Structure formats: C-alpha cells, structure tokens
Amino acid sequence: MPKTVTTIPATISRFTAAPIDSRTKRKVAGYARVSTDHEDQISSYAAQVDYYTNYIKGREDWEFAGMYTDEGITATNTKHREGFKRMVADALAGKIQLIITKSVSRFARNTVDSLATIRKLKENGVEVYFEKESIWTFDAKGELLITIMSSLAQEEARSISENTTWGHRKRFADGKVTVPFKHFLGYDRGEDGNLVINPEQAKIVRLIYKMFLSGLSYMAIGRELMKRGIKSPTGGERWYPRTIQSLLTNEKMKGDALLQKNYTVDFLTKKQVRNEGQVPQYYVTGNHEAIIPPETFDLVQAEIERRRIGKRYSGITVFANHIKCGECGHWYGSKVWHSTDKYRRVVYQCNHKFAGDKKCSTPHLTEEEIKTAFVRAFNKLFDGKKALLDNLRAVRARICDTATLEAEQRNLANEMQVVADMVQNCISENARVAQNQEEYGKRYDELVRRYEEVKAKHDETVQAIHAKRVTAETLATFYKAIKQRDAALTEFDEGLWGTLVECMTVYGKGDIGVTFKDGSEIRV
C-alpha cells in the first residue's frame, strides 16, 4: 500500500494559546517612553500614549491590557525604568500577550538588554511589535532584525552621549557654571543662569564657617544648627557631618568654580566617578559674588588640613584640642565628675595622664579656670596694643608678600603644560607610527622625568603661596580683632578665643601659657 501523509492542522493559536475557533481576544499593551522632560518631548510622549491606547482599543481581536510609560528616562539601561520593568513583570505573569511600541530605540538602546528581554518574553509566549521597523518578534527574521536595529540604536546612543559630553566640556572651557540650585545652600539661579547670593541662606553659610574656625567639629556644628532649628540644604531636620564638610570645602563659597569634578565612564550605565586627572578640569576665578572672603576660605582649608594630619580631633567644645599638657605634649580632654549627683562638674585634664608608667603631674582645669586664664592673658597682650599693631603690620608686609612666588608659579604652570603636551604627542606618535621602542622608551622616560620635576616645583610653590596667604589672613584677623577692642576684657569672650588663641599650655599648678596666633606666648 503506498505511503500517504495527512496534515493535521493546528487548532491552538500561538498568539492567544486558545483554540483557533474561540473568540478569545489577544491581551495587548502599549509602551511609550521619552528620555527628557523638555516641552517638545512631553508632547511626543502624550501623543504616543493617546495613539497606542486608541490603536489597541480599535481592534476587535485585541483586548487592551494597559499602557506602560516612562517619562524623562534614558533607554541605555533598564535600571530606573519602572514602567518598563512593571510591563515585563505583568507580561511574564500572563497579563500581556503582545506589546506594541513605536521603535526599537524606544524599547532599549542597549543591544544586550533588548535581546535578553525579548528572548525572555518570547519564551513565555509574549510577542513584541516594533511599528516603525515593522518587526514582529515571533517572525523568523525578527531576532536578526532586532539585533541589527538594537546595535544601531546603541551606536546612536553612543553618538548622542559623545555629543553631549563635548557640549558639557565646551561649556566648562567657556567658564559656564551650573549647579543643582534646589539643594545648593547660599545661592539662587540669577537671570543670566549664574549664581546669585541668597541673603538668608548666606547667613547660615557664614555661621558654619565662623563655628568651624572657633574650633567646633563637623558633628558639633551640625548639632548646634539642629538645636537652632536651621534646615539642611535638602530641607531636612538633620545635618550630617559630610554636609558640613562639603560646604566648608566648596570653592563656590569664595566666588570661584571648579568644573568637571566628576565624569561619566560608561554611556550605557551612566556611572560617574571622581575626576582625578583622567579628563581636563577648568577652574573659574571670580565667577560670582563670594559669600566667604577667599582669605577666610583658605584659612578654613588650612585648619581642615591641620586637623586631618594631627591626632584625633574632638571639637566637641571650643576648648577641645586647644589645651595642651606642658609635660607630655598631649591634649587635654573634658571629663565629667560626679555625673549623677548634685556635685556634677566638667573638668579638663591630660588625656594621657594615666596612660604611661609615669603619671603626668599637670593639674586639671575647670572651664572657669580656662576662661579666667584667657582673660588675664588677653589683657596682658592688650596692654601693649599700639606696639602690637605696629609689629603686626610690619610682620605681615614682610613675610606675606606673594608677588614673586605667584610669578614663578605661572611660569612653572606654563612649562608644565608644554611638557605635558610633549608627553601626549610622544604617546600619540608611537601609537600611529612604527618606531624603535627602545628609543621611544628613553624619550618618554625623559619627558616624564622632566614633567615630574616641574610639577614638584610647581606644587611646592603653590603650597608656599597658600601658606603665606593663610598666615596673612591669620594675622589680618588677629590685627582686626585687637584694633576693634576699645578696652580690656572683663569676662570670657568665645569669639575672641576662637579668633586669637592657637593653644593653651598647662605647665603646672598656677602656671599656664596662652599662645596667640601671632606666635606670642603669655604666661599667667
């Protein structure tokens, strides 16, 4: 008997998983996305939503399963696309059988993400239709076309990212400054887009700088601000030490701006890292009105560095890290005696009094004794006010002039730039043209050695300038505080303590030395 083949037709729809003669409708959802919140993009977004909602509802064989959207979100990855992730989850849960979107680039500009998502959906019987490219993912040639289109979309994203980066760097090179004004304490956006002082917020910034220079730590400043009911830059109740530190080290407070502190390392992940020399930076001097005078800002940076390289800094009170043991050289710290009864009092004593084999003989001091010693020392200093002021003027003029150093610094900076360009040209030439690698290595090493020598001299000169400016500001502040006083002190003044005192040294009972910031020590 001859062999025969009988075709048994499919009876289940591969699109709805229901018998082909049933009236089961295919569950269809739409997906719309725009990558920015600009006005033209918002209108495009609204048009996409309206179009696909009506398009799906207009089909008799389709059941509208919802509209999923992401507004102002990039497609280079799916990390922050909540609408997209919710749509995929619903599709895998059986709530969607077909997804319609405008184009491959609306779905994803990352080839890996795009294919992985489509394959996952396909395995679960969910099809995607890209209207612009007319691609159905259940079609045999669908995946090939999607791979090609996704790759093109990814390259388009790369091109957009590179153009955007170029635009940012061009603005940086032109000295155009942008900051997140919503959470930026002290400044508002002016009519020209630049920074304009917010008077009320500027008072808070100045208060923070004043408290820091008086000796308080980041944490102590934060506690004081919260105690006064002052809101943080984000409008919260809590002030974190990192927020205080950021305000104290932000060059914008002195009217300058350092641009491109961070840069994007991957256009797909949008990951940003701190710029430590990988790409150019731009420093704009005098970009806007300063809240903090540049001299005061430099003084704060010097104090931050002093605390960083010194032993563990406390800064809980204005006396912390300002009273020194004359016997062992360690700082005095506060101790609470009789903390639970009516005799409770706070005293200061050497932190290493009982640490070694030999006990320090220096006595403890009460806050009242510290204050009294300062008042007596200040009044001794104030007795020679006229001679002191004359001496301060002469010293400041003699040791704080930076004109010669600044000229040297400019020359070294220019030389450093020339040598750096020579190094880059050397590397580029070797990459393009075949050379004797031994000769190339010698030339490269010589240029690098020369660059490092010039850079070391430049950095040393910058440090010398900075040190002189800090000394000048310290002496100027000291001079101003003494000049403004009309009479000797009758009681402790916390502002003068923070402004004038470098440290207090306890040598023995009844023997205390107060070292002022002009370098003089007065024993009381």
Report the top-level CATH class of 183-309. alpha beta
3-state secondary structure of 69: strand
CB 299 within 8 A of CB 473: yes
**Confidence check: pLDDT of 258 > 50:** yes
pLDDT score of 431:
76
SS3 content of the chain, % helix, strand, coil (to 5): 50, 15, 35
Predicted local confidence at residue 206, as pLDDT: 92
pLDDT band at residue 38 under the 50/70/90 scheme: very low
> What are the residue boundaries of the structural domains of the chain, listed by start?
26-161, 183-309, 323-523
Among the ranges given (140-144, 325-329, 412-416), the one the predictor scored with the smallest mean pLDDT = 140-144
Residue 130 has pLDDT above 70, yes or no: yes
Is the pLDDT assigned to residue 116 strictly greater than 70?
yes
Judge whether residue 84 has pLDDT over 70.
Answer: yes
Q: pLDDT tens across 271-295, in order?
A: 666 766 666 677 778 888 899 988 8
Average pLDDT over residues 423-439: 82
Specify whether the backbone of 493 is left (phi greater than 0), alpha (psi in -120 to 50) or beta. beta
Question: CA angle 81-42-59, nearest 5°?
Answer: 80
pLDDT at 208 over 90: yes
Find tokens 């996704």 and name the residue.
150
Instruction: Compute how many other C-beta atoms are within 10 angstroms of the C-beta atom of residue 519.
Output: 12
Q: Which residue has the higher pLDDT, 15 or 484?
A: 484
26-161 and 183-309 in the same fold: no
Q: 26-161, what's its fold?
A: Rossmann fold (3.40.50)
Mean pLDDT for the stretch of residues 222-236: 89
Where is average pLDDT lowest: 56-70, 262-276, 404-418?
262-276
In this predicted model, what pLDDT tens digit does every residue of 40-74 receive, in sequence order?
A: 444 567 788 888 888 888 888 889 999 998 876 55
Q: Cα separation of 306 and 323, whole Å?
A: 16
Q: Do 311 and 331 contact (CB within 8 A), yes or no?
A: yes
316 versus 373: the higher-pLDDT residue is 373
DSSP state of 108: -
Task: Identify the band that residue 507 occupies on the pLDDT scale cut at 50, 70 and 90.
Answer: very high
In this predicted structure, the answer to whether residue 13 has a pLDDT above a threshold of 60 is no
- Could you tell me the two tokens for 395? 């010293």
Which segment of 164-178, 342-356, 503-517 scores lowest on mean pLDDT? Answer: 164-178
What pLDDT is stored for residue 371 in this prediction? 92
Sign of torsion over alpha carbons 216, 218, 219, 225:
positive
| pLDDT mean over 78-83 | 71
> Is residue 76 pLDDT above 80, yes or no?
no
User: Which amino acid would we find at residue 141?
Assistant: K
Strand ordering across the sheet containing 365-366: 332-337, 345-350, 365-366
Question: Does residue 143 have a pLDDT over 80?
Answer: no
**What local confidence, expressed as pLDDT, does residue 5 receive?**
77
Residue 49's alpha-carbon distances to 43, 78, 101, 279, in angstroms, are 10, 20, 10, 41
Q: For 231-247, what is the mean pLDDT? A: 89
Average pLDDT of the chain is 80
pLDDT bin (cut points 50, 70, 90) of residue 200 is: very high
Amino acid type, 481:
A
- Mean pLDDT calculated for residue range 232-252: 89
Three-state SS at 16: coil
User: Which has more pLDDT, 384 or 193?
Assistant: 384
Tell me how far apart the alpha carbons of residues 113 and 104 are, in angstroms, rounded to a whole number. Answer: 12
Q: What is the number of other CB atoms lying within 10 angstroms of the CB of residue 121?
A: 21
